[in-house]
Amino acid sequence: MGQFGASGTVTTTNTGWTSDGHLEGVSSLSINNGAVSTYSATLLDYTANLYYDSDTVATLFDERTPISQAVTQIDSSTAAALSASAAAWHDYDLQTDHYAIAYFVNGYYANPLYWGNSCDAETGDCSVSGGGGYAYWITAAAIYIGSTLADQGYVPQDGSLPPFDLNAYNGFLASSQPAYGNLATFSAQVTEWIKRLGTVYTAIKLAEGVYNPNQSLDVPPIPFYVDIVDDTYDIGAGERQRTFIIKDLKGVPWNMNYPLRVRERFSNMFTAGGVTPPQPNGIWYNLVPLTSSNDQQIVESKYVDHHKGTIFNMAAQTSYLQYYYATDFVMPSYMAGLSSLFTVPGILDVGPALPLWIKDTRACPQWKNSCVRRCLPGE
């Protein structure tokens, strides 16, 4: 969830509780004027405090690379704060690991709330402190309860645009198989798409600056870009599954209290002979009616795009330009004068529609033949 803070700062907060409600974990992250600040806490209620202490480990990631960490001193409730400089268009994640500290009392291990699975050895869910493996040496055990995660992208508020490497697209076109028939025409269409994105974004930012200068969260969010967070593929099976998180104009994961539909579109498709090309049939939804039984639900601001077929066989390859665009969202009232910009060329959806930037620059493992890997924190 997001909370509105002072001076127009938007804070992304994630909280979690044990099933019995006796322990709460908090991760909170905010970005303002080129700086990222975090707060992490593990909080015990009165009942839990009778038997346990807590410990908190906070790790800040910049584009999935850890850049800072804090480990608290064991206490009844613990909290940690981190700060760092923020780079434009980078994504920042705060992962907080929450622990309950249990003790041996009168020769017996005191874990009356039955947290964790095993705490009598250096295996299972507990890391045992106090020396060796014999019970009379053990003084306390740290029970891993779970983790909370706060995620936010740094979207500069000066109206600047994300970097776009047109040379990378031209290089892809030049090396594609089957070969593209007219590289100049295709490159011009890519450039036109970039211009459309830039025109819409610049106009929206100008209106935001006038009518919503403090970035109030009482205003409906505007979808802006999708960020790839998981990439699973099996070249041998010709299958790929990518997970995207949808973010709004402030770089915050999409507020699931607001409706949204995301669609995909293909253009400039070139297919080798005898190959059935993939279809742009992906539709993902939140709080809007289904268009068909094939629609997929957006969950926790994320959607999964699944491709299956011969698309990884270089002898039978299909090449195409893929777009995502957003529809069926609530447009802020002060954007009414810009309604003509809330359209996508060739798209006839009723109501506002916006092309979405795709951010996929995170470092992931290299592709390998016949393997399945995921792009996860720390990789």
Name, of 1-15, 203-217, 241-255, the range with top average pLDDT: 241-255
Sort strands 283-286 and 2-4 into parallel, antiparallel or unpaired: unpaired
pLDDT digits (tens, 9 = 90+) for 275-296: 666 677 789 999 999 999 999 9
pLDDT digits (tens, 9 = 90+) for 186-196: 777 777 777 77
Kindly state whether residues 236 and 351 are assigned to the same domain: yes
Which residue is associated with the tokens 């994640």? 93
> Residue 212 forms beta bridges with which residues?
none
**Of the ranges 212-221, 254-263, 282-291, 345-354, which one carries the lowest mean pLDDT score?**
345-354
Kindly state whether residues 178 and 112 are assigned to the same domain: no
Which residue is associated with the tokens 């293909």? 266
Domain boundary residue, one of 103, 136, 152: 152
137: helix, coil or strand?
helix
Domain that holds residue 17: 2-152
Say which residues have a Cβ less than 8 Å from residue 37's Cβ, sequence separation at least 6.
29, 30, 31, 81, 82, 83
- The pTM score is 0.80
pLDDT at 349: 67
Domain boundary residue, one of 152, 174, 197: 152
Omega before 178 within 30 of 0, i.e. cis: yes
Give a yes or no: residue 68 inside a domain. yes
Say which residues have a Cβ less than 8 Å from residue 114's Cβ, sequence separation at least 6.
none
**Of the ranges 284-293, 296-305, 350-359, which one carries the lowest mean pLDDT score?**
350-359
Kindly state whether residues 192 and 341 are assigned to the same domain: yes
Kindly state whether residues 87 and 19 are assigned to the same domain: yes
Grade residue 348 by pLDDT with cuts at 50, 70 and 90. Answer: low
How far apart CA 87 and CA 39 sit, in angstroms, is 19
pLDDT digits (tens, 9 = 90+) for 5-40: 233 456 788 999 999 999 999 999 999 888 999 999
pLDDT at 94: 95
Domain total for the chain?
A: 2
Kindly state whether residues 79 and 167 are assigned to the same domain: no
How far apart CA 234 and CA 371 sit, in angstroms, is 5
Give a yes or no: residue 376 inside a domain. no
Kindly state whether residues 223 and 76 are assigned to the same domain: no
Q: Taking 70 as the threshold, does the pLDDT of residue 82 lie above it?
A: yes
Give a yes or no: residue 373 inside a domain. no
Give the other-Cβ count within 10 Å of 278's Cβ: 19
Which residue is associated with the tokens 């802020």? 332
Single-letter code of the amino acid located at 39: Y
Give a yes or no: residue 368 inside a domain. no
Single-letter code of the amino acid located at 212: N
Cβ atoms of 287 and 259 closer than 8 Å: yes
Kindly state whether residues 331 and 192 are assigned to the same domain: yes
- Mean pLDDT calculated for residue range 309-328: 70
pLDDT at 274: 65
Average predicted confidence (pLDDT) for the chain: 78
Name, of 40-49, 95-104, 202-211, 364-373, the range with top average pLDDT: 40-49
Kindly state whether residues 174 and 84 are assigned to the same domain: no
Say which residues have a Cβ less than 8 Å from residue 24's Cβ, sequence separation at least 6.
15, 16, 17, 41, 42, 43, 45
**Of the ranges 159-163, 315-319, 326-330, which one carries the lowest mean pLDDT score?**
315-319
Give a yes or no: residue 372 inside a domain. no
pLDDT digits (tens, 9 = 90+) for 114-129: 887 555 444 444 544 4
Give a yes or no: residue 370 inside a domain. no
Run of H or E residues at 166:
helix 166-175
Kindly state whether residues 173 and 308 are assigned to the same domain: yes
Q: What is the CATH number of the domain that holds 72?
A: 2.60.40
Of all residues in the chain, the percent with pLDDT exceeding 70 is: 72
Domain boundary residue, one of 84, 119, 152: 152
How far apart CA 341 and CA 44 sit, in angstroms, is 50
Sort strands 239-248 and 302-308 into parallel, antiparallel or unpaired: antiparallel
Cβ atoms of 83 and 39 closer than 8 Å: no
Give a yes or no: residue 367 inside a domain. no
Kindly state whether residues 53 and 78 are assigned to the same domain: yes
Closest CA to 251 of 364, 83, 85, 87: 87
How far apart CA 342 and CA 344 sit, in angstroms, is 7
Kindly state whether residues 180 and 198 are assigned to the same domain: yes
Give a yes or no: residue 222 inside a domain. yes
Kindly state whether residues 268 and 341 are assigned to the same domain: yes
